[in-house]
Structure formats: C-alpha cells, structure tokens
C-alpha cells in the first residue's frame, strides 16, 4: 500500500520541524528504491485483479444464464406436469363417470316394469315409467341423455326429448354395443359441438335371452372441464375440428342456444359450445393462422403484463378419432416473477461472494462439494432404505404416510395402505435357513416394486412385513389381489438351484373411508391383515371385507 496517505496524515499532526525531518527522510528513502516496491505491489494487484475481475464477470454471467435457464425450465416443467395431470384427470373423470353410468344402468335393468315396457315397444309406457326418474337422474347425477331403442336400433323414446323418435341410432357406442352384444361407452361429438359421455347397454329377455333393445345414458362433459379449471386454476377451451361438424346444424344449434354463430372466425376449428366463447388474444392469434400445437409443444405468451403458457391436448371420440383439441392456458406470472427474483438474488449473491472467495476456493470447493454430495447420497440411502430389501425403512414409512395423508386432506383424495405379511415365514427360516429367508425377502421386494406404480411407496415395516402406500387410490383391493397373485404365481430362488414357493396375506385400508389419521390407517390395515391370517392366509382382506 502506498505510504503517501500515511505521510499526509502525519503532516497534519506534527510540528513544522518534525514535518521537515520526515519529508527529508522520505525523500532519502525514495531515492534508495524502498518506497518503489509499494508502487510495484499496486501494479501487481492490477495485473492480478484485472483478469480475476474479468473471470468473475464471466462466471457471474454464466451463472445468471444457468439460473435463468434452470428457472425457466422449472416453469416449463410445472406446465408439463399440469398438462400430464390434466390429461390423467380428464381420463380418470371420464372413467369415473362411466362407472357411475354403469351403476345407474345396472339399477335400471333390475326394474321388471321398465324391461316389460321396452319389450312392448310402447313409448307412452316407457315415458310414464321414466319421466320422473329422468328428472331425478338429471338433478342428482347430471344425466342429460336417456334413450330407448328397439333391437334394430330404431329410437323408441328420448326421455329428455320425447317428441323426437323413430330415427335409427347409428352412433359409435350403439354400433359397438350391437356388434359386441355388451355395454359400450365413450365420448362422442354432438352436432352442436358438444361432447357427451354415452353408455349403451343391450337389454335381453331374462328367460329367452332374446334382444329387447338398447338403453342409453349420457352426460355432457362440461362439468369435467369445469373441474379442470377449478382444480388446476387454468383456463380450458375446446376446439372442435370443422370437418367433424355439419355447418348448418351447428349454426342452427348456436342460434337455438342464443349465440351468434361465427363459422368463419377461425380457419380449421370452432369453439365447443361447452366452452367460453370469449377467446384470449394469445389463443385467437394462433387460431387465426390455423396453428394448432401438438401435445409436446408449450407456447409462451405475454399479454397485459402477465406471462402465460399454453398447451394443446388432442381429444378423441369413442372411435379413437381426433375430433377436437383441448387448450390449457396457465397464468405463470407468479412463477416467472419468482424465477426472475431468484436470478437477481443469485446474481447479487454470486457477485458478493464470488469476489471474495471464487478465485481461491472455486476448484477446491467444487472438489469437496462433489465429495460431500456423493457421501450425502450414500448416507441418505442408508438412512432411508432398508439394506436387505432396498425398500424404504420403517421410519421413512411413517413420514411418507403422514405426507400423503396431509396431501389427501388438502386435495380431498383418498390414500390406501396395504400391509403384507409372508405366510409361514418362520417355517421357511427353520427349514432352509435365514439366508434363504433373506433371499425370499429380496425377491418379494423386487416383485412388489415391479407391480406397484411409480407414485406408490413400498416399505419394509419390520421382519417379513411389507407395506405399500397408494396415493389417490380407492381400488386397493385390486392392487392387493394382483400382488398376492404375483407372489403365488412363481417360486423364489434361494440359491444353489433351489426354489421355494410362498404366499402372502394382505390387509388393505383406505383414508378417509376407514381411518382419519395415519396411525389409525396403519391399525386398520393391520387389523385387516390379521383377519386375512385368521381366514386361512394367502388372501386379501380389507376393513370392509374380512
């Protein structure tokens, strides 16, 4: 550091005589070169700091880019998750509603008076039997379509529109029911651009098994779209391909609904009647140019100071034809702003810390960081997984279960739990040794891991007991029966060319149906397992079915 400032400060505090002595001394030392190395230090610092500063700036610029890319990618992945979840949500909702329609259809089939009215082909009798019933179904289950057709598919009665009858029903679901002689269901496009889930069942005489006719139930899927909007907080639009519609019928229908038909608004599609007719500009611009994205594309747009992401999902009818697109528009302004804040804060932190530490510690910290990460992964594996089965251990099981219970409470979906126990496992250990028992546990864990879904969590509860946490699942008995059958289907290798056949008993319970907490759910599944053991083993029991 230069000594001139020091000399100046001394001048301000000393007497004139002393000041002259210092100045003289300083001049003498400067002539010998001792003070010159201070200027050399400054020069060396400049030579070192200049490239170091440049390197830091390059590193910070790279970090900003990486942070921006990572945060941008996180937003994109969030939209991808919404898209995948929306597709699953839509498919699951359709299947759920189809099961509801099937349950209603089964109840209708058990009505002898209704069967007799269909056999008589008497529209008045059918209407008298079903008019009040249809009002109840419409109110309670959102049933919008109720058909009776004879064995030739000629319509006898539309309960929802009794003035229209006598035409032949040639829809995909009806033709499939006729061809296969069994219930058929699927989503079909109506002439107004509406999407209706239809379920058609052939009714036969119980004695002669002669075909009496076909009964159809249907519900429009607008409530499914509304659920998508509410659940994911997104805008949903359905775009019907024009080549799937009759223009005159569509325009007449729009007028009947009190809407102004605008067939020429977009080149290739019209808005579904179950969708808002107010299209945001970011979507309207694409449609005006005839641009429909595929299911792998994400489109970005900024409108009105907000950031949006838009994805297209193709919609298929019961015949597997692409008849429309569902457009999901997500407002990601909050996520985008959070990403920018992350970039700003990360850049500021990097600038502050990097100037002090990056040049000296970058390589060393990187090497140590990689070592720590590797060790942390190893420690995490040891802390969370059972060493023998590679499943989650007992402690992590309760953590996972409580997390799923909390998520279930928040989003109002079920969580199921399976408790699995190897039948007569002590006999295996006593007969073949504990190493054979370990081999069976490993094999059972592998077989279980292949059977469950990626979102399910398999755990070793203790000893020969395993558990499976099934998020968003009520049909635990089906999964449990599949696991039980998979275990029974093939023996397990225990070494030295030997195999041992085993069976398992499984107890199943579901939150919130059988328990209101994680501990209660474990107790319920354990009680069901005990019932399976007491009932003879190699079986599945639930709290409801022991």
User: Which CATH number does 394-542 carry?
Assistant: 3.30.70.270
Q: Which pLDDT does position 252 carry in this prediction?
A: 82
Sign of the alpha-carbon dihedral angle for 290, 294, 300, 303: positive
Angle between helices 434-451 and 476-489 (to 10 degrees): 130
Beta bridge pairs of residue 303: 306
Domain residue spans in the chain? 39-380, 394-542
Q: Which residue, chain included where needed, has tokens 């994805």?
A: 311
As a whole number of angstroms, the distance between CA 546 and CA 539 comes to: 10
Q: Which pLDDT does position 22 carry in this prediction?
A: 40
Average the pLDDT over each of 81-85, 109-113, 140-144 and give the range with the smallest value: 81-85
Among candidate residues 183, 265, 255, the one with its CA nearest the CA of residue 216: 183
Contacts (Cβ under 8 Å, ≥6 apart) of 188: 171, 172, 173, 195, 196, 198, 317, 318
As a whole number of angstroms, the distance between CA 127 and CA 521 comes to: 48
Q: Is-contact 505 418, C-beta < 8 A?
A: no
Tokens of 85: 């979840």
Contacts (Cβ under 8 Å, ≥6 apart) of 290: 266, 267, 268
Q: Which pLDDT does position 46 carry in this prediction?
A: 57
Q: Which pLDDT does position 271 carry in this prediction?
A: 80
Q: Which pLDDT does position 49 carry in this prediction?
A: 55
Q: Which pLDDT does position 10 carry in this prediction?
A: 39
| Average pLDDT rounded to a whole number, residues 207-230 | 86
Q: Which pLDDT does position 239 carry in this prediction?
A: 85
Is the per-residue pLDDT at 6 higher than 70? no
Q: Tens of pLDDT along 499-525?
A: 999 999 999 999 999 999 999 999 999
H-type alpha helices, 216-258: 222-232, 247-256
End-to-end CA distance of the chain: 87
H or E element at residue 46:
helix 36-109
Is the per-residue pLDDT at 11 higher than 80? no
Q: Indicate if 394-542 has the same CATH topology as 39-380.
A: no
As a whole number of angstroms, the distance between CA 414 and CA 169 comes to: 39
Is the per-residue pLDDT at 28 higher than 50? no
Q: Which CATH number fits domain 39-380: 3.30.70.890, 3.30.450.20, 3.30.2020.30, 3.40.30.10?
A: 3.30.450.20
Q: Tens of pLDDT along 16-26?
A: 443 444 433 33
Average the pLDDT over each of 162-171, 250-259, 391-400, 426-435 and give the range with the smallest value: 250-259
């Amino acid at each position: 550091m230069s000594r001139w400032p020091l000399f100046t400060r001394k001048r301000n505090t000393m007497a004139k005589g002393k000041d002259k002595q210092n100045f003289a001394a300083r001049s003498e030392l400067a002539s010998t070169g001792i003070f010159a190395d201070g200027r050399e230090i400054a020069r060396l610092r400049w030579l070192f700091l200049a490239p170091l500063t440049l390197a830091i700036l390059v590193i910070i610029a790279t970090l900003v880019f990486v942070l921006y890319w990572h945060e941008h990618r996180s937003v994109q992945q969030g939209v991808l998750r919404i898209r995948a979840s929306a597709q699953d949500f839509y498919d699951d909702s359709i299947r759920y509603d189809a099961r509801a329609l099937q349950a209603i259809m089964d109840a209708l089939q058990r009505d002898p008076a209704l069967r007799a009215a269909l056999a008589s082909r008497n529209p008045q009798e059918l209407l008298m039997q079903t008019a009040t019933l249809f009002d109840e179904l419409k109110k309670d289950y959102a049933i919008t379509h109720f058909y009776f057709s004879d064995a030739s598919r000629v319509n006898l009665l539309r309960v929802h529109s009794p003035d229209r009858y006598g035409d032949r029903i040639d829809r995909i679901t009806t033709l499939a029911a006729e061809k296969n002689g069994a219930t058929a269901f699927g989503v079909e496009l109506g002439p107004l651009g509406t999407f209706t889930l239809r379920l058609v069942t052939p009714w036969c005489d119980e004695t002669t098994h002669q075909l009496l006719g076909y009964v159809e139930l249907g519900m429009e899927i607008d409530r499914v779209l509304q659920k998508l909007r509410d659940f994911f907080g997104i805008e949903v639009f359905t775009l019907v391909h024009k080549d799937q519609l009759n223009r005159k019928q569509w325009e007449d229908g729009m007028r009947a609904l009190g809407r102004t038909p605008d067939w020429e608004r977009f080149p290739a599609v019209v808005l579904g009647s179950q969708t808002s007719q107010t299209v945001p500009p970011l979507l309207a611009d694409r449609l005006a140019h005839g641009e429909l994205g595929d299911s792998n594309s994400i489109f970005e747009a900024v409108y009105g100071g907000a950031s949006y992401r838009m994805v297209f999902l193709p919609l298929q009818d019961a015949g597997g034809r692409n008849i429309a697109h569902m457009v999901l528009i997500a407002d990601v302004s909050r996520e985008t702003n959070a990403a920018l804040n992350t970039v700003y804060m990360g850049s500021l932190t990097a600038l502050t810390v990097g100037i002090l530490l990056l040049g000296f510690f970058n390589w060393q910290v990187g090497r140590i960081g990689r070592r720590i990460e590797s060790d942390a992964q190893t420690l995490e594996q040891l802390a969370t997984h059972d060493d023998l089965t590679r499943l989650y251990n007992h402690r992590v099981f309760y953590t996972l279960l409580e997390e799923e219970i909390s998520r279930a409470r928040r989003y109002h979906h079920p969580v199921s739990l399976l408790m699995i126990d190897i039948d007569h496992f002590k006999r295996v250990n006593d007969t073949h040794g504990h190493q054979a028992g370990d081999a069976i546990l490993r094999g059972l864990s592998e077989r279980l891991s292949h059977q469950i879904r990626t979102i399910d969590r398999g755990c070793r509860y203790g000893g020969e007991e395993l558990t499976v946490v099934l998020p968003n699942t009520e049909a635990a008995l089906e999964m449990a029966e599949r696991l039980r059958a998979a275990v029974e289907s093939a023996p397990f290798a225990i070494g030295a060319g030997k195999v041992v056949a085993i069976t398992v008993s499984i107890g199943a319970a579901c939150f919130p149906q059988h328990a209101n907490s994680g501990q209660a759910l474990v107790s319920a599944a354990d009680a069901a397992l005990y019932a399976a053991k007491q009932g003879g083993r190699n079986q599945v029991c639930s709290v409801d079915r022991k």
